[in-house]
Amino acid sequence: MDYQRFINQLPEQFHHWGKETVYPKSEQFQDSLNFIEGMTTANVMQLLNFAVDCMDAGEIYCEIGTYRGSTLIGALLNHRDRMAYAVDNFSEFDLDGVCLEALQTNLNYFGLEEQVYFCNQDFQNFLLELRELNVEEKIGVYFYDGAHDYRSTLLGLLLVEPFLADHALIILDDANWGTVQQACWDFLAVTPESTVAMELLTPVARHSTFWNGIQILSWDRNKVHNYSAAAFDNKRYPLVIQSIYNLQLLEQKQQSLETVYQEAKAYHANKQFSRAENKYQEYLLWRDDDAEAWRTLGILYYEYEAYQDCSNALEKAISLDSSSEISYYFMGCVLERLERPNQAIAAYQKALSLNPNLVDAYNNLGNLFTLKDQLGKAKMLYQQAIALNPNFFGTYLNLGNLYLDKGQLSEAVTTYQTALQLQPDNLDVRHNLNIALQAQNDPIQFHQNAAERLAQIGRASTAICHYQALVLLPSDQPEHYSKLAEILWQLNRSIESIEALNQGLRLYENSEKLNYELVIKLMQLNQHHAAIKATEFALEKLPKSYTFKLLNALMLPLAYDSPEEIEFYRDRFTVALQNLIQETVLKTAGQRENALTGSQRFTSFQLTYQAQSMLEPQQQYGRLIHQIMAANYPQWVQPLLEPAIEGKIRIGYVSHYFHAYSGTLWLTGWLKHCNHQNFEVFCYYTGDSPDLITQQFQSWSDRFHHIPNNLEAVCQQILSDQLHILVFPEIGMDPLTVQMAALRLASIQCTAWGHPVTSGLSTIDYYLSSQAMEPANAQAHYLETLVCLPKLGIAYPQPQVPPLTKTRAEFHLREDAIAYLCCQAPFKYLPQHDVLLVEIARRVPHAQFVFIRADILQPRLHRAFAAAELNSDDYCIFLPSLERNDYLMLNLLSDVYLDTLGFTGGNTTLDAIACGLPIVTCPGEFMRGRLSTGILQTLGVTNTIASNEADYVNIAVRLAQEDALRHEISTAMQARCSEVFDDPTCITALEEFYCQVVQERVEAATKNQ
């Protein structure tokens, strides 16, 4: 082991070494930790990994305390030639008994199972047994993360000494603790071969740098002296030494332990929590197997709100005695505080199974079910509690709250009055009773407030009760129908939602909001003819509304029944757009505002999904939007001079989608890898769904502005920032973005392929695209000047694929089926291509086609399969939207990814590559039909790119028939992932373009002066 190299070069593995912001230069450790539940940090993983890198050939890495494998995996990543001993008996932190299985799963996922000798035993037994085996291999790096009491730590050091290589590293975790430090220095005192090489302590526990502190010892078997007596004298930890001294006193007087315990309980009863905690811990130092003491310590922690400590103590109590209902009850309480409601429910249910008379458990469980909107279960639990103890006011308070939530005011009043009789002075009961009585006098205000409150906290089902009550009251407020319809829609009760809007329109036929929402929801259900009729009805009642003029003229179906229908609606769109342009009058302020409002409610997004040229219709629509925006904001369409370059070039990115959304994921690399020495990055987030991804965008920005749904405010901010370049990552998906893009907010304005078609706007100068994805005649498809960046043109983050924990049956897939994943949005599937699926099914009888969120395709596919005398139900599976990990596991369980023609996958194609799923694609005429082809060509795996539709079918069939071919392609894809993921090639070209175009504009402006 070259420990000197380790000491000298370790800082080079990190950014900001020596600071609290230290983090590894390699992202692989944080990425790995994101999927391994571990009590460590990426910094510790990098440290261990580099230590293993410094071992000599034939040396072993040994780890005591593996938990779920985070540090073990961190140490072995990219070290395929290294072997490891790993030891853990999972006596801690494994209440559910899942750590061993999780460890094995994680090792298998990272391909490390063959490199690890895992021993499920106490570390002392392991090291003692190792002594008897006379093994030749020596340990080059020893990482101790076992029990951190003094004896265990010292034994862990003393017992490993014979197995250490002549030169080795000893790494101790949780070095912040006095017991670890004292054991370490006592070991140093008896082994002159060892020296402190590095000390990485942390200011607090669980710190983001090195968790609970790291102590690193170097070992040199030829060394005969390390420290002076004075040095050892300075490394005495009085509390630890005193505690060790106290052991013999306690051993002599075991009966005094009971006194200590009684003192702890007395302090506890008097709310002297700190003293009580010290006494409990003193007692448990010797009576570690006392379940009652762990339970009372857990209750103490709960009372002074140290919830994680409470959970840990109760876990210990339950591991020692699983028959105590009190332990499970308080575990339920603390899990509620830790915001783990499902686990809290399980704990309360276990408590009640042990003791069915726990009134508080019924109440708490009822409250949890109330929060989950399962009011039937909650009511039953409250009634059971009342049956057990009819004199406890709290249950009546909870039941009254439930009735109040449901809007059952009479029942609520009666129940609160019962509670008040039992507890006349309780302020909560009086307050809630007053609310119920006031609600009876003013039900409209009550139901409005209750509905909004419940909707905000995610209790949609109960909120519906209040909206339904509101529409029956004489309130003369059409928005009640709108809100009822919206919340029904959120619960996938679309028929009821449409009916609520129709009910509202029977009373308020001139309501623009109700009419608009009816049209939009009918469009989303692909009830296109009904949507057109709804716009016609709206125009009869609101003939001046530009919104309905625009919708009536330009809206398109989500999915088409036939190729002829595509042509019909395309022709209709073209003619109607020309008519709309001619009819648009912007002379008065009212006309201008009306057109502005209408254009904020529509984009030409659906026109993209017809596999035809977008240039002419986009130009026409772009001219219309520009005309409307120029009429409303004439000051914001004037040419702008390029600002002088004073320091850095200012680049702005504006998007409605700077949150967890697949359409913006491709952009992350541009910002993450930006050279901030040359560029100042401004981001403008116009959406209203901020999340962790938003925070990432903010961290990559020099200035980040969140200005949701406010056109004028965001435009003013952009102009005040005096950008050199403004980039719209996608134009055509969000109406507000289209409106902004139709203005001149920077002298250079660009768009990119977040929506892969020309913007059609004269105000957009450049289209930033991908060299690999564009056809030979690409410029002819764009109004903008086309700029093709190298390869994919993006630095796409590699998807983190989870371990496979689900089965095919959970996705309704047969085990013997060839599963074809069809995961595109439904509007990408064109009717002329249905026959391809039918032909594949005819030639692969055991095929299953898995669609996601594509129910609107079912009738059309049923007809297509029936025409070939096949039943689509035998072949087609329609799944709802999936959580991210479930979707990736579906990729892992599928056999073939069937791409769409005309508009292929992008993010989904890259996901499939990360999962090793073979992709069948066929390039189209336009860039949007060549995304997958460009990705596969860049990857260097091209044998599933079809030359035509017949070839597409043949490849899909061949993949079904040849398991070896699928495996070969999958292996090749995964081996070459680095070609398409996190590739910074394009960033250099992008930033060179930015510099060049700004310099050209600045020089031109200077000449014109």
Residue 821 token pair:
């994943």
Tell me the helices (H) and strands (E) count for the chain, helix number first: 44, 21
Beta carbons of 787 and 986 less than 8 angstroms apart:
no
**What DSSP assignment string belongs to 342-370?**
HHHHHHHHHHHHH-TT-HHHHHHHHHHHH
Superfamily (CATH) of domain 245-444 = Tetratricopeptide repeat domain (1.25.40.10)
Q: How far apart are CA 650 and CA 296, in angstroms?
A: 60
Q: How far apart are CA 860 and CA 835, in angstroms?
A: 11
Phi, then psi, of 681 in degrees rounded to 5: -100, 125
Beta carbons of 183 and 241 less than 8 angstroms apart:
no
The confidence score (pLDDT) of residue 475 equals 79
Q: How far apart are CA 193 and CA 1, in angstroms?
A: 14
The confidence score (pLDDT) of residue 248 equals 73
Q: What is the dihedral of CA 774, 779, 781, 786, to 10 degrees?
A: 80
The confidence score (pLDDT) of residue 95 equals 61
- Within a 10 A sphere around the Cβ of 621, how many other Cβ atoms? 26
Pairing relationship of beta strands 876-879 and 847-852 according to DSSP bridges: parallel
Look at phi and psi of residue 916 and say left if phi exceeds 0, alpha if psi is from -120 to 50, else beta. left
Phi, then psi, of 134 in degrees rounded to 5: 55, 45
First to last CA, the chain: 68
- Within a 10 A sphere around the Cβ of 591, how many other Cβ atoms? 16
Q: How far apart are CA 190 and CA 194, in angstroms?
A: 9
Instruction: List Cβ<8 Å contacts ≥24 apart for 342-350.
Output: 344/368, 345/369, 350/325
Give per-residue burial for 452-479: e unless 16+ CB within 10 Å, then b: eebbeeebbebbbbbbbbbbeeeeebbb
pTM of the complete model: 0.69
Phi, then psi, of 576 in degrees rounded to 5: -65, -35
Q: What angle do CA 107, 108, 109 make, to 5 degrees?
A: 90
Write down how long the chain is: 1009
Single-letter amino acid code for the residue at 667: L
Q: Does 245-444 match 3-240 at the fold level? A: no
Q: How far apart are CA 840 and CA 957, in angstroms?
A: 6
CATH topology of domain 810-981: Rossmann fold (3.40.50)
CATH architecture observed for domain 634-789: 3-Layer(aba) Sandwich (3.40)
CA-closest candidate to residue 813, choices 850, 861, 855, 840? 850
The confidence score (pLDDT) of residue 96 equals 65
- Judged by DSSP in three states, 804 sits in coil
Contacts of 492 (CB under 8 A, 6+ apart): none
The confidence score (pLDDT) of residue 249 equals 67
Phi, then psi, of 170 in degrees rounded to 5: -115, 125
Residue 713 token pair:
């405010």
Single-letter amino acid code for the residue at 853: R
Domains in the chain: boundaries: 3-240, 245-444, 634-789, 810-981
| Rg over CA atoms, the chain | 34
Phi, then psi, of 384 in degrees rounded to 5: -65, -40
CATH topology of domain 3-240: Rossmann fold (3.40.50)
Which portions of the chain are predicted below pLDDT 70? Answer: 93-97, 249-255, 1009
